[in-house]
Structure 1
Amino acid sequence: MDELEFMRGRVYGADHDDAGPQPGRAYVELVGGPLDGLLLDVTGLSDHEVRAGVALPTEIGSHGPGGRALYAPRATDSRRFEWRGDTP
């Protein structure tokens, strides 16, 4: 994905009216799973928090409403977080 295409992506958790990436913020791309293709704002997270990955609330995962999608940084590209599964 080139930089221009990356900056056109929708941001996880953003309002639909303001769903694009904002200048001065740091984002990673979510790859696979129910949130595939969305960008995640990681601005302000420590390196340790980023390496640990995230559990993101989603209604479209395998556990339905109340479930979470698990994503962790790709070993070869820290700008992409790969889906690791869903959890209730």
Structure 2
Amino acid sequence: MTQAPRVYGTEHDALATEPQPGHTYRELVGGPLDGQLIEVTGWTDEEITTGVHLIAPHTAYEPGGRSSYAPTFSRPDGPWVWEGDMP
């Protein structure tokens, strides 16, 4: 049985850790958050094309560091790719 990807920002034991109907998500690829989804429901086009710096449990800067994820130019509506860690 395949488990649905976990949504970033939800706790492992929370009831709503899976994608919800009517919401828009991007998959995070690579880095410490690989395989998770980020919800972008209600985000502007500019926010979506810019990407995000997300707090991650395991980064080059210890727990609480941030990982940068952004869409690729070839697939702006596709998954967001890890760009590296930052403090």
Is TM more than 0.5 here?
A: yes
Q: Distance in 1 between matches of 2:40 and 2:18?
A: 14
Instruction: Select the residue among 11, 15, 23 that pairs with 2:11.
Output: 15
Q: Distance in 2 between matches of 1:12 and 1:66?
A: 14
Indicate the residue corresponding to 1:52 in structure 2.
50
Equivalent AA in structure 1 for residue 44 of structure 2:
S
SS of 1:50's partner is: helix
Q: Distance in 2 between matches of 1:68 and 1:21?
A: 23
**TM-score, with length taken from structure 2:** 0.87
Structure 1 residue ranges without an equivalent (≥5): none
Structure 2 residue ranges without an equivalent (≥5): none
Q: Distance in 2 between matches of 1:12 and 1:23?
A: 16
Asked if the contact 1:27/1:79 (under 8 Å) is kept, the reply is no
**TM-score, with length taken from structure 1:** 0.86
Equivalent AA in structure 1 for residue 42 of structure 2:
G
Number of residue-to-residue matches in the alignment: 83
Q: How does 1:1-88 map to 2 (within 5 A)?
A: 8-16=4-12, 17=14, 18-77=16-75, 78-88=77-87
SS of 1:79's partner is: coil
User: By percentage of residues, which structure has more strand?
Assistant: 1
Q: Distance in 1 between matches of 2:4 and 2:64?
A: 28
Q: Let me know the Cα RMSD of the aligned residues.
A: 1.6
